[in-house]
Amino acid sequence: MDPLRNHIEEITPVTDEEFAYIKTFFTEKSLKKNQYLIQNGDKVECEYWIIKGTLRAFYLTDDGKEHIVQFALKNWWLSDYNAYFNQTESQINIICMEDAEILCLTIFAREKLASELHKMEHFFRITLTKIYSSQQRRIISLLSDNPKQRYEKFAQLYPNITQKIPKKYIAEYLGLRRETLSRLYTNVTYNGNRT
């Protein structure tokens, strides 16, 4: 079965005819490692669903410091959603950490699809709710958890990421120094708690 159909049907069933129609709204794109999908200042016309690969979304300060906003792996959605929904210029950069295959969905296509198929409106609402909830959990963790708690929650929620993404990026995402993460990683691994 098509991976996009599997993904949609985790939330709502679709018929063969409906899925064939849904698929016409997406375009496929291939990206190479270190290729940008979005750069600061770009007009953001699409949101993206990852077929394969790993991407990193980050904000770059004026002094060149990178702040990681999100990672995205297979079956995840990402974009600069503020720019996407408001049709403004991006403040976020998205780069491929490995070769990737993605599906692109324009805001126009998304709105048309949602208005024509109530199932897809439901799907998009649930998907955005999950994204929002994930971002809120992360903000609360950054504000209230100590470094060990942040890492343990991250490793528990996203066990596949800890195997695919270099520790320096995980440290940045969690607001930790690289050395702190290495110490935590070693302690959690040796204590047998690693997921």
User: Domain 3-116 sits in which CATH superfamily?
Assistant: Jelly Rolls (2.60.120.10)
Q: Who contacts 80 (Cβ-Cβ below 8 Å, separation ≥6)?
A: 38, 44, 57, 90, 91, 92, 94
Residues facing residue 107 across a β-bridge: none
Q: How far apart are CA 100 and CA 78, in angstroms?
A: 13
Residue that wins the pLDDT comparison between 44 and 147: 44
The pLDDT assigned to 1 comes to 77
Whole-number average pLDDT of the chain: 90
Write down the pTM of the prediction. Answer: 0.86
pLDDT of residue 186: 65
pLDDT tens sequence across 169-193: 988 888 887 777 777 766 554 444 4
- Domains of the chain, by residue range, sit at 3-116
